[in-house]
Chain A
Amino acid sequence: MENATNFLNIQDVSTAFKINGRFYDAISHINLQVHRDEIMAIVGESGCGKSTLATTIMGLHDPAETKTSGVIDFEGTDLLQLSDDQYNDYRGAKIGMIFQDPLSALNPLKRVEDQISEVMDYHSDLSRDAKHARVLELLDQVGIVAPKRTARQFPHELSGGMRQRVIIAIAIACKPDLIIAYEPTTALDVTIQAQILDVLRAIQQENHAGIILITHDLGVVAETADRVAVMYAGQIVEEGSAEQIFTTPQHPYTRSLLRSMPQRENENDDLYVIQGNVPSLQRMPQGGDRFAPRIPWVPQSAHEAEPTMHTVAPGHSVRCTCYKVFTFPDQQKGPVTP
């Protein structure tokens, strides 16, 4: 197994989008390590920058509309320094991406087989027959019952679960070292979700891949992830092992998220609701704790002026100092008064 710095090491990465001629950070100063043989989950509300992080790693942004800085060190290469052509040697080959919406993510006019073997057209020297055999093998691997028939079909002839499997087959066709799974189960029934997650885990064990699982579904995270990074407003606010995040969450945002998740113990209570919304890019607070406006009962003095990550346990870190004093308004017993 390779160590962290040799696999994927994201250092100080920011991505800004151009809106009306000005650039606004969608993610700012992200630091994250992903290892082989692990599933790293990235969670957060819509608009927190999860997808921007994924597409930044894939290099899918139009350079005229975005500005990216920092270093994405992948197996010793800084991806952000690559030209588009050089990047194409990584996309599909060493990094595979699984997309969210299985209907729109497939080309409606191409047969399943052509869409899967297209990856191999660019990244392998396989013969036509070898590619055909590999397509059937992949379809079988992702749990499609009749690979031969499915290979000949068009996306509109498949069910949602089958399309999602085809998308996974595309992502893993060249046995990538890193798989970015972007909401791979959101569009699916719960039973299909479990099957898809099993497929992902099996592939990972076979290829020793590192997986970045991007989702807002904490249930999926609890079930699959080894480590978790919680994102809010373009920043990572807490990072730790799945166990640490679920049993001893520290950051107010993580705790709020977990509390707003339905659980057996509180099924008769009202769910917790986090006040307010994720700020839009133009309204993003530039200094201070970005989550502070949504927990107004916590005094300003509890926040750092420029919040940094603090290690609370080995492998578990949290942004800002406010976690030390934070309690929910209905559970206040500590030093905070409303």
Chain B
Amino acid sequence: MWKTILRRVLIMIPEVIILSILVFLLAKAMPGDPFTGSINPKADPAQIHHLMKINGLYDPWYQQYWNWVVHLFHGNLGNSYQYQEPVTRLISSRAANTLWLALLTMVLTYALALPMGVFAGRHEGKLPDTVIRVYTYVTYCIPFFVILVIGIWIFGYVLGWFPTTGSISADATSGFKSIWSRAYHILLPAILGALFSTVNIVQYLRSEVIDAKRSDYVRTARSKGVPNKDVYRHHIFRNSLLPIAAFAGYSITGLLNGSIFTETVFSYPGMGLLFVNSISYRDYTVITALVLIYGILNLLGTLLSDIILSIVDPRIRIE
């Protein structure tokens, strides 16, 4: 199995290189130059020309790309135009917020979706199955940001159970208090996110359970005298989880993309909100860095999916 994982990791190297070239070329294709806006507008064009030259902006693109990559490896992604601070510091201060929100959302999503999917499949066609299916279709149909706004209105304003903006209250300074405050702030976005992202998992798992229930190997298990609950535990559940495991990694990246909505609506200071703001301020260095990071996270997500799948499914391991 380690062979499979190693091979899969090696494949990622050319993927990351191609991704970085694409991101770099897209950034190059954006109009304007890095100096015109940041120095005295009355500056001599010859001086800008000189700045461009000493900063290597007239070099061939592969030379520039190489310089960019070298800087990248030194942790230097340039300065943000909007905030006038290094992009790496800007992003790393936000990354943890996004990560916690995504993690909690994912844990809640699986905690809700796995039991619902199995339950619906097991009691196919009966009332609980119908209720669960209606629930998933409804959540699938309503746009996510509409749910977020309604959620804030009900639980934030009308009931006042949860804070509606930010990631921490201003008075939470000490250790425990600040942890609690952070957890309290991500609870509502995470719950809303989880409630409305179960549909894929529930529907997949349900149909997999229904298929597995009628499969020949389950009939074999029953003919061995295995009690019903063990048939579910040892045979149906694990086989039905294969496709769920297959997109577990993708769902992480899906959550990061989803965080763009959540963070914007909740004014939650994470990478998603930073991304949206950077786009509206044309903060090119930040955009480039975020696109690269989101791209790498997507690759890592698919890597994770493949690793999980090779653990749970012996058929795709390379011996």
Binding site for B on A (CB under 8 A): 55, 58, 60, 84-85, 87-93, 96-97, 99, 101, 104-109, 118-119, 122-123, 154, 156, 167, 170-171
Contacts and interface: CB of A to CB of B under 8 A. Distances in A.
Interface residues of B, number: 21
Contact of B220 (A85, A87, A105): A105
B216 A92 contact: no
Contacts of A106: 217, 220
Q: Which 8 A-B pairs have the closest CB atoms?
A: A92-B225, A91-B225, A104-B216, A92-B224, A88-B225, A97-B223, A107-B217, A105-B216
Given A101-B216, A104-B216, A107-B235, A118 B221 contact: yes
B215 A58 contact: no
A94 to B, nearest CB: 9
Interface of B: 215-217, 219-228, 234-235, 238-239, 312-315
Contact of A156 (B224, B235, B314): B314
Nearest to B314: A154
B61 to A, nearest CB: 48
Contacts of A118: 221, 224, 226, 234
A284 to B, nearest CB: 24
A105 B220 CA distance: 6
Contacts of A85: 227
A167 B220 contact: yes
A204 B278 CA distance: 78
Contact of B228 (A84, A107, A171): A84
Of listed A92, A154, A170, residue having the most chain B CB within 10 A: A92
A106 B235 CA distance: 10
Given A154-B315, A156-B315, A105 B225 contact: no
A170 B227 contact: no
B281 to A, nearest CB: 51
B221 to A, nearest CB: 7
A200 to B, nearest CB: 17
Contacts of A97: 220, 223
A206 B172 CA distance: 78
Given A107-B239, A156-B315, A122 B224 contact: yes
A89 B223 contact: no
A73 to B, nearest CB: 20
Of listed B215, B225, B228, residue having the most chain A CB within 10 A: B225
A108 B225 contact: no
Contacts of A171: 223
A105 B224 contact: no
Of listed A96, A107, A171, residue having the most chain B CB within 10 A: A107
24 contacts: A58-B223, A60-B222, A60-B223, A88-B226, A91-B225, A92-B224, A97-B220, A99-B223, A104-B216, A105-B217, A105-B219, A105-B220, A106-B217, A107-B221, A107-B235, A108-B314, A109-B238, A109-B312, A154-B315, A156-B314, A156-B315, A170-B220, A170-B224, A171-B223
